Amino acid sequence: MTHTVYDKYPEVAISGYDHDAWQGWEPIIATLRQRLAQQSKATLIVDCYPGVDLNELERHLFPLLTPSLLLNVESARLDKTALHHLLARNLTDDRVFGVLSCHHLNEFFDSQKIENLREQARENQGLTIIYGPGAALVHSGDVLIYADLPRWEIQQRMRRGELGNWGAENRDEDMLRRYKRAFFIEWRVFDRHKTPLLQRADFLLDTTQPGNPAMVSGEALRAGLQQTTKRPFRVMPFFDPGIWGGQWMKHQFDLDPTAPNYAWCFDCVPEENSLLLRFGNVRIEIPSQDLILLQPRALLGDRVHARFGAEFPIRFDFLDTMQGQNLSFQVHPLTEYIQQQFGMHYTQDESYYILDAEPHAHVYLGTKNGIHPQAMLDDLHAAARGEKAFDDAKFVNQLPAKKHDHFLIPAGTVHCSGAGTMVLEISATPYIFTFKLWDWGRLGMDGLPRPVHLQHGEQVIDWQRDTDWVMRNLVNRIEPIAQGEHWREERTGLHEREFIETRRHWFTGPVSHHTGSGVNVLNLVEGDEAVVESPSQAFSPFVVRYAETFIVPADVGEYRISPTHRSQGQQLATIKAWVRGE
């Protein structure tokens, strides 16, 4: 196994704005006082992402700004019963799956109560502070602060029982149901709301660490996001245990040794990950989704942006079953099914790149030749009822897996990673849409039965994906593409039904790359470390280490990857993914 220092807190250093960010309440308050002192009558708007701790703002920020009127916009929000009726079609009765919301935030408020708040603000002659999620619906603000919070931190607060859904008073509800409501409704609605606010905000308030806020000027934030699209960068990964999790990441990435295991690492899922921006001595943590919302064309490229809008369509994550257990046996929905049932416009095609493997490791992929679909479904239903274990050996291909194998998994193909594999999953982004067919009779980490979705899964299994078809189309479709003195390039996938193209480069010297007007995502899958450079010195050299995923924005254009001094004499390899242009 390669041993290197995996960076768990990668930062993007922003130049030119070292004095435009502040850490701690005291300098934040001093900055705001100076700004507000310019006028005797002023309205300060503090709009917030759902999950921001309003109590902390009420205790530590607002009293020291001495407003003559303090208004919480949540007093105008619809009550939880009215919200439930409004959202019932999107919430559904399912524990995991809802329907993506197209609501706008103003629908969640009583229009007359909003107007009453406006009237109070108009009549007040001193400093008015209007705060809370949706505060900008009341007033555009003489000064606008947006208080943001990354999704991973929201989930941690939910798990600790500190946070329910916005307007639901449900912090004791099943975590899966709270996550569902956030994923399908809240985050969609609030991303729509905050995008124009971030484009004009005077300040962004980072509330990720309770009691330790940070703030950056809106000008510096927007300049920092623009600078980020001109260079390679990484988002901040997060790691999570799971019932099937393994031990490889714990040791390789120097994670908490007392944790039972680590199953997941979201190494590049910008919809979920944080982005760390460094302004002088201050580090600002924001959702990396903010970069996509504000700089979609520069990041994604015109072609990808035209197809996907402000969504990052490529996901790299890790699945660790080394000394662990099988993943759940599963299938992903076909395109028409995900569109019609859940309102998502593209599906979760994916692949397993085997970063490492134990002897006798394997993956499950496709059905065996000659099986009867109804017989397999009957067996799965009997297993779901607890009558027996699913007879996987009778119905499903179990294929040996070794380091650097690549298994392609277009939607509709039954699959899962077996025990003893370290998978780099390269896939399309809508990661929540996994239909579990069988979970080996396990309970989840919460002690509850893990949801099985046979009612969905049986609608989308492609029964033509049998042994012969899988071996022809999905296993190690490695094709030599080109080679030079110190490198060779191979196409490794994905399947023609999938929109992602992947290429592997083996190298002992410099390799030239080009974004081709679309975003590139890469991982160093072999070797200690490499350096990414601009032939024209357009960005500073960027060092990547073994197993780190990094993004090269479309605007970068030409770049070069070389071994560092530490890696001289090693055979290195990267795997690169991008959205096909055809």
Q: For residues 421 and 362, what is the distance between their CA atoms, to the nearest angstrom?
A: 7
Nearby residues of 88 by Cβ (< 8 Å), 6 or more positions away: none
Check if the beta carbon of residue 126 is closer than 8 Å to that of residue 68: yes
Q: Exposure string (b/e) for 25-60, b if CB count within 10 Å is 16 or more?
A: beebbebbeebbeeeeebbbbbbbbbbbbbeebeeb
Residue 431 confidence (pLDDT) = 61
Confidence of residue 442 (pLDDT cuts 50, 70, 90): confident
Q: Exposure string (b/e) for 159-177, b if CB count within 10 Å is 16 or more?
A: eeeebbbbbbeeeeeeebb
Is the pTM of the predicted complex or chain greater than 0.85? yes
Residue 449 confidence (pLDDT) = 64
Residue 542 confidence (pLDDT) = 98
Q: What is the mean pLDDT of residues 468-496?
A: 95
Residue 4 confidence (pLDDT) = 62
Q: At what angle do helices 187-200 and 218-228 cross, to 10 degrees?
A: 110
Nearby residues of 58 by Cβ (< 8 Å), 6 or more positions away: none
Q: Using one digit for the tens of pLDDT, what is the confidence trace for 117-165?
A: 999 999 999 999 999 999 999 999 999 999 999 999 999 999 999 999 9
Per-residue pLDDT at 334 exceeds 90: no
**Nearest to residue 77, comparing CAs of 14, 123, 134, 125?**
134
The amino acid at residue 477 is R
Q: For residues 188 and 198, what is the distance between their CA atoms, to the nearest angstrom?
A: 16
Average pLDDT taken over every residue of the chain: 95
| Main-chain dihedrals φ then ψ at residue 351, nearest 5 degrees | -155, 160
Per-residue pLDDT at 348 exceeds 90: no
Return the minimum-mean-pLDDT range out of 22-36, 298-312, 352-366, 424-438.
424-438
| Main-chain dihedrals φ then ψ at residue 312, nearest 5 degrees | -90, 110
Confidence of residue 343 (pLDDT cuts 50, 70, 90): confident
Q: Using one digit for the tens of pLDDT, what is the confidence trace for 188-244?
A: 999 999 999 999 999 999 999 999 999 999 999 999 999 999 999 999 999 999 999
Q: For residues 130 and 46, what is the distance between their CA atoms, to the nearest angstrom?
A: 6
Q: Using one digit for the tens of pLDDT, what is the confidence trace for 363-399?
A: 999 999 999 999 999 999 999 888 999 999 999 999 9
Rg (CA), the chain: 25
Check if the beta carbon of residue 161 is closer than 8 Å to that of residue 171: yes
Q: What is the mean pLDDT of residues 439-459?
A: 81
Domains of the chain: 11-228 (3.40.50.300), 264-273+299-473 (2.60.120.10), 479-579 (2.60.120.10)
Q: For residues 245 and 321, what is the distance between their CA atoms, to the nearest angstrom?
A: 5
Q: For residues 530 and 559, what is the distance between their CA atoms, to the nearest angstrom?
A: 13
Q: Tell me, what DSSP letter sits at residue 252?
A: H
Per-residue pLDDT at 178 exceeds 60: yes
Residue 1 confidence (pLDDT) = 42
How large a percentage of the chain has pLDDT more than 70?
98
Confidence of residue 433 (pLDDT cuts 50, 70, 90): confident
Q: 343 burial class (0-12, 13-18, 19+ CB within 10 angstroms)?
A: middle
The amino acid at residue 381 is H
Q: What is the mean pLDDT of residues 462-489?
A: 97
What would the two tokens of residue 484 be? Answer: 């030079």
Q: Using one digit for the tens of pLDDT, what is the confidence trace for 77-120?
A: 999 999 999 999 999 998 899 999 999 999 999 999 999 999 99
Q: Strand pairing of 396-400 and 362-367?
A: antiparallel
Check if the beta carbon of residue 427 is closer than 8 Å to that of residue 315: yes
Per-residue pLDDT at 522 exceeds 80: yes
**Nearest to residue 42, comparing CAs of 141, 134, 115?**
141
